[in-house]
Amino acid sequence: MTGDITILHVDDEAAYADLQKMYLEKIIEASLSTIITTDPTEVTEIIERSSVDCIVCDYDMPDIDGLDVLATVREEYPILPFILLTGKGNEKVASEAIRMGVTDYVQKPSGSKQYKMLGSRICNAVVRFRSSRRDRKEMRRFQNLLDRVADPLLTLDTDLCITYLNEGAEQFLDGSSESLLGAAVVDHLPKKSALEAELRRALDEETMIVAEGKFKFSSVEHSIRIYPDEDRLLVLILRPDNEGSSSVT
């Protein structure tokens, strides 16, 4: 793994934290920056002011244990990698940590082999975190673009259930996003609608399709553009007065 990694190490024993920092800097093939705190109450403040990629936190600390720190972090940072260092054979703590959304848990290292395992777990967690963060950023960009389209626009999954709809689609289908998300789009089509077959054909053939179709509440046919994109469909419904173009606000 390449690139800079910033670790926040939470441990009430500063000497042990310094030792861990030394070992990990030798093991991890990246530019490693370690922030050490012996005060668990500082964790969210440090995250806010630093670009932390992963938290490594000891479980056994006085007053506030590692599970308390995990709970605090997960309230504001649900996907930030959090590795809990547990004592030998502490399955009950590990089980509770999993329930609370820990990324990983590792027996507190005491030798080079265990440090290598911890280094590997950190790198893997950071890779997944950065990938997920990029995916979320791209999804926000995609949704911001879709929100600007004035015509009704939907995305459907492979079961033809609605996974996204813009404001135009909410108005067109006469419902709120809360009531429409997850609903099958065929419920809004007349029985034996040819449009359902075209939607499935677009999925099967992975090709853009121009179709005509009516909806239950509409007396006119609409021109519909169906765009397959991996495991979803993007469906643009052109209003009768806007055939051939789609306005963007």
> Tokens 């606000």 identify what position?
249
- Specify the pLDDT at position 192: 81
pLDDT at 220: 83
Same domain, 13 and 47: yes
- Asked if residue 155 and residue 106 are part of one domain, the reply reads no
Domain that holds residue 197: 148-242
For residues 79-102, give the mean pLDDT. 87
The 10 Å Cβ neighbour count of residue 158 is: 11
Same domain, 13 and 131: yes
Same structural domain for residues 90 and 163?
no
Distances, alpha carbon 6 to alpha carbons 45, 77, 87, 214, 240, in Å: 15, 16, 24, 55, 55
Cβ density class 176-215: b for 16+ within 10 Å, e for less: eeeebeeeebbebbeeebebbebbeebbeeeeebebebeb
Q: 132 φ, ψ to 5°?
A: -65, -40
Asked if the structure places residue 163 within a domain, the reply is: yes
Give the chain's end-to-end CA distance (angstroms, integer).
42
201 and 170 housed in the same domain = yes
């590692």: which residue's tokens? 66
Residue 107 has pLDDT above 60, yes or no: yes
119, 188: one domain: no
The whole-number average pLDDT for the span 124-152 is: 76
Domain tally for the chain?
Answer: 2
pLDDT for position 43: 95
Q: For residue 105, which phi and psi values (nearest 5 degrees)?
A: -135, 140
Could you tell me the pTM of the whole model?
A: 0.58
Evaluate if residue 239 carries a pLDDT over 80.
Answer: no
Q: Are residues 29 and 138 in the same domain?
A: yes
- Which range, of 22-26, 101-105, 109-113, 219-223, averages the lowest pLDDT? 109-113
Tell me the C-alpha distance between 16 and 39, whole Å.
Answer: 14
Interatomic CA distance for residues 5 and 48, integer angstroms: 16
Q: Extract the tokens encoding 26.
A: 């030798």
Question: Is there a single domain that holds both residue 110 and residue 181?
Answer: no
The amino acid that residue 139 corresponds to is M
Looking at residue 245, its pLDDT comes to 46
